[in-house]
Amino acid sequence: MRTVALTVAGWLLVAGGAVAQPPTVIPVPPPAEPVEPALPGGAAVSRPLQPVDAKAEPPKPADPAPPELPPEIVEPSRDPGPKKILGGSWGSDEILIWWAKGAPVPTLVTGGRGGPPVLGADGTSVLLGGSPVNTPDIAGYRLTHGFSLDSGDRVGFEWSYFFLGSRTVSDFATNVTNPRHPFVGLPFVNAQTGQPDVLTLARPGESNVLAHLYTSTRLQGAEATLVGNLVARPGVKIHAVAGYRFLQVNEGARLETTWMQFPTARSGYQTTLGLTADQFDGRNEFHGGQVGLVGDFHRGPFYVELTGKVAFGTNYQVVTADGQTHLLTASNPVPVGSSYVGGVYAQPTNIGRQTQTVFAVVPEGMFKVGLKHGDHGRWFVGYNFLYLSSAVRPGDQIDTTLNPSQIPMLNPGGGLVGPDRPRLGISTTDFWVQGLLIGFEGRF
């Protein structure tokens, strides 16, 4: 027990000493200034981010962006991108209103005041022919279609076809409604004498005549070309074209006469109705290779297109002549009719067909101005000029030097006596058409 009491007393003394003794304070050194560590080689490392003072000034706002310009004046990329140079596919429809070069016609009908209307005689006037017959406007249509051949949309194929409807111009001459010229006839140069002569069909009190002159024109053509882009810049596109061209020009000239011979001493007191027809045709068929340039200039919704092409090739030319005469003579109990080969200017010596092939050039110029309709459509109006350097035209093929022995009304049933005139030859000149075009084009 004693031992336990002594142990407890010892622990109490130790504890009491520990409580009475003041605590020992260990001084803590102030934090040292941070030292910037150095990279190998002596380069200092940047300080770590510092906290942002709440009272710091806010950053200044950035300058406002410039206002956007309207789409039509924004400078486009210099590369139009795929499917925007030629267009994946395109096509156009055009209404054509064109005029053709006047049809040449020699003097075919004359009128006289005091006697037979021989050319060069006093009182003789030209009633039909003698100058080109002006052709009024001819309506037509042109269809064009094309498509791109490469992924870059810079090479394509295009074809087109156009036609002008057949246009016939007619004129007439008669003594019935023209008292100033009671004599009407068909003039010619007499191959037997070499002098001017005339087949008189109307005389006062003896006969009347109605003469009609017809000229006709018909045109068609086609193209098949490769198109390659040369320049594609903002507002400007220039394409080259090369390929095949076809052009066909068909024309005709026809003279018809209807005359009535009254029963007089000159006619043997017989009444005769006569009809004559002389037909001359000229056909031109051109085939050749073609090259050209197409310029497309646009700004905003407006655009202008200029096209120049020229084709070189061969023109197959055909000239034909034909004629008929029909006479109906009154007799008892029935009229007597007869028909003959040959009219007046078309006789057995020149009736038939002549052909030849010649070198020819076909240039074409085109101008269009229009408005864009969105990104895929264009409305336009324009002007077109098409030229053929060598062509056969019917009026130039009429030989007015005749042998009277072949004219049925002067020598019915008779054969050729003397020179073989008229003759069928081939005379060439140039030909052109020009006019307006109105249409719509789509590109997709």
pLDDT (tens digit per residue) in 204-250: 999 999 999 999 999 999 999 999 999 999 999 999 999 999 999 99
Dist CA 250 CA 100 (whole Å): 12
At residue 134, the pLDDT reads 92
pLDDT confidence tier of residue 40, bands split at 50, 70 and 90: low
In angstroms and rounded to an integer, the radius of gyration of the C-alpha atoms of the chain is 50
pLDDT higher than threshold 90 for residue 90: yes
Q: Of 237, 79, 238, which is closest to residue 152 (Cα–Cα)? A: 79
The model's pTM: 0.79
For the chain, give the number of residues.
Answer: 444
pLDDT higher than threshold 90 for residue 297: yes
Q: How far is CA 367 from CA 6, 145, 304, 382, in A?
A: 134, 19, 8, 5
Dist CA 413 CA 406 (whole Å): 9
At residue 443, the pLDDT reads 85
At residue 117, the pLDDT reads 96
Q: Of 127, 20, 148, which is closest to residue 81 (Cα–Cα)? A: 148
pLDDT confidence tier of residue 70, bands split at 50, 70 and 90: low
Q: How far is CA 278 from CA 45, 199, 222, 268, in A?
A: 112, 14, 32, 27
Decide which of 35 and 114 is more confident: 114
238 neighbors 249 (Cβ within 8 angstroms): no
At residue 340, the pLDDT reads 94
Q: Span 298-321, mean pLDDT? A: 96
**Tens of pLDDT, residues 331-345:** 878 889 999 999 999
271 neighbors 321 (Cβ within 8 angstroms): no
Domain ranges of the chain: 79-443
pLDDT confidence tier of residue 361, bands split at 50, 70 and 90: very high
CATH topology of domain 79-443: Lipocalin (2.40.128)
159 neighbors 146 (Cβ within 8 angstroms): yes
Q: Span 135-155, mean pLDDT? A: 94
Decide which of 62 and 441 is more confident: 441
At residue 73, the pLDDT reads 44
Among residues of the chain, what percentage have pLDDT more than 70? 81
At residue 358, the pLDDT reads 98
Tell me which DSSP letter residue 39 carries: -
Element (H, E) at 141: strand 138-148
pLDDT confidence tier of residue 29, bands split at 50, 70 and 90: low
pLDDT higher than threshold 80 for residue 37: no
**Among the ranges 9-18, 302-311, 332-341, which has the highest mean pLDDT value?**
302-311
Pairing of strands 155-174, 138-148: antiparallel
pLDDT confidence tier of residue 373, bands split at 50, 70 and 90: confident
pLDDT higher than threshold 50 for residue 12: no
Give me the residues paired with residue 17 across strands: none
How far the first Cα of the chain sits from its last, in Å, is 120
At residue 68, the pLDDT reads 60
91 neighbors 441 (Cβ within 8 angstroms): yes
Chain mean pLDDT for the chain: 86
162 neighbors 96 (Cβ within 8 angstroms): yes
Q: Span 33-47, mean pLDDT? A: 50
Pairing of strands 207-233, 302-329: unpaired
Dist CA 239 CA 222 (whole Å): 19
Q: Cβ of 157: how many Cβ atoms within 10 Å? A: 15
3-state secondary structure of 396: helix
pLDDT higher than threshold 50 for residue 168: yes
